[in-house]
């Protein structure tokens, strides 16, 4: 039976509509028939402000998926879960570990989930699904679990550590993407894309038997990408013939500019309030 999946950007770094608000963070809302889910929850409780303005009822949420543990994706979890206590939670165990980022001056700051968020997850223990492997969230919508890093050109490192002394790099194994199939091919949603967008796409193609990829939405984390990585990433987008590209959040302005210049008729905004419809 044909079903429409409606993807709405609930929280993102930019906004172009009156009355909605933006912040450094990301949250998507997906409506699949009468069921709905959240992929990430933004940095603050902003989703509580934006959802009613977009005629989204958070109370009806069936599932909340965390793309990884960084607090710009997990900060609204407590509020989302209070609004929808029946929702099942999907996350990788490593999302709960301590996470730090190194500032340019060498100091570090914690960017892992705060205590209230971790407590929300602990209290919801029976409704938590740990996602190391590809897992169906609901009605044909899947989360990847851990994504193998296969393409060295993606340089998926970065100033991320598991300790405040920057001694142990954080491999961010918790980073995962959401995907579902449509008549035109797969739609992929990324949180921050720490595993690398090409690694993520190749892994999803591997586990879906090589289905074409129709659309990519979300954070591509190309902030530190040099010319070689950008060139190879764009070449992969062309080779896979990706029709819709809505780069968001942590993609980075120089990378956004290059993507738009290279694929002008395929790129579109992913700002707060943007709605996309896909036929399942
Ligand atoms: Fe992140
Ligand atoms: Fe992020």
**Ligand with smallest separation from the Cα of 158:** 1
> Terminal CA-to-CA distance of the chain, rounded, Å?
8
When pLDDT is averaged across residues 48-71 and rounded to a whole number, the result is 98
Helix (H) or strand (E) holding 280: none
pLDDT digit string, tens, across residues 3-33? 899 999 999 999 999 999 999 999 999 999 9
Calculate what percentage of the chain has a pLDDT beyond 70: 100
User: 70 CA distance to ligand 1 centroid (A)?
Assistant: 5
The CA 244 to ligand 1 mean position distance, Å, reads 23
Q: How far apart are CA 199 and CA 179, in angstroms?
A: 14
Ligand at minimal distance from the CA of 23 is: 2
d(CA 130, CA 132): 6
The CA 193 to ligand 1 mean position distance, Å, reads 8
Q: What is the pLDDT of residues 143-196, one digit of tens each?
A: 999 999 999 899 777 899 999 999 999 999 999 999 999 999 999 999 999 999
Ligand positioned closest to the Cα atom of 41: 2
146 Cα–ligand 1 center, Å: 15
Going from the Cα of 73 to the center of ligand 1, the distance in angstroms, rounded, reads 7
Average predicted confidence (pLDDT) for the chain: 96
Judged by phi (left if over 0) then psi (alpha if -120 to 50, else beta), residue 14 lies in: beta
DSSP code, position 125: G
| Residue 72 CA, ligand 1 centroid: distance in Å | 7
pLDDT digit string (tens) for 186-236? Answer: 999 999 999 999 999 999 999 999 999 999 999 999 998 999 999 999 999
pLDDT of residue 1: 61
């Amino acid at each position: 039976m044909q079903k429409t999946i409606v993807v709405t950007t609930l929280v993102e770094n930019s906004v172009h509509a009156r009355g909605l608000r933006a912040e450094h963070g990301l949250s998507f809302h997906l409506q699949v028939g009468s069921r709905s889910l959240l992929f990430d929850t933004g940095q603050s409780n902003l989703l509580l402000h934006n959802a009613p303005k977009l005629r989204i009822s958070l109370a009806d949420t069936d599932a909340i998926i965390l793309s990884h543990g960084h607090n710009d994706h997990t900060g609204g979890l407590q509020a989302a879960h209070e609004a929808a206590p029946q929702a099942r939670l999907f996350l990788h165990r490593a999302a709960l570990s301590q996470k730090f980022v190194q500032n340019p001056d060498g100091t570090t700051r914690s960017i892992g989930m705060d205590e209230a968020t971790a407590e929300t997850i602990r209290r919801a223990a029976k409704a938590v699904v740990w996602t190391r492997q590809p897992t169906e969230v609901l009605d044909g919508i899947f989360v990847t679990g851990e994504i193998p890093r296969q393409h060295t050109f993606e340089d998926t490192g970065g100033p991320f550590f598991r300790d405040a002394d920057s001694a142990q790099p954080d491999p961010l194994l918790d980073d995962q993407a959401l995907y579902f199939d449509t008549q035109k091919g797969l739609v992929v949603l990324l949180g921050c894309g720490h595993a690398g967008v090409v690694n993520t796409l190749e892994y999803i193609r591997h586990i879906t038997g090589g289905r074409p990829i129709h659309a990519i939405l979300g954070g591509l984390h190309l902030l530190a990408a040099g010319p070689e990585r950008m060139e190879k990433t764009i070449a992969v987008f062309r080779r896979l013939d990706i029709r819709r590209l809505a780069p968001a959040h942590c993609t980075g302005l120089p990378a956004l500019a290059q993507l738009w210049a290279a694929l002008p008729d395929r790129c579109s905004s992913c700002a707060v309030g943007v709605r996309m419809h896909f036929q399942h």
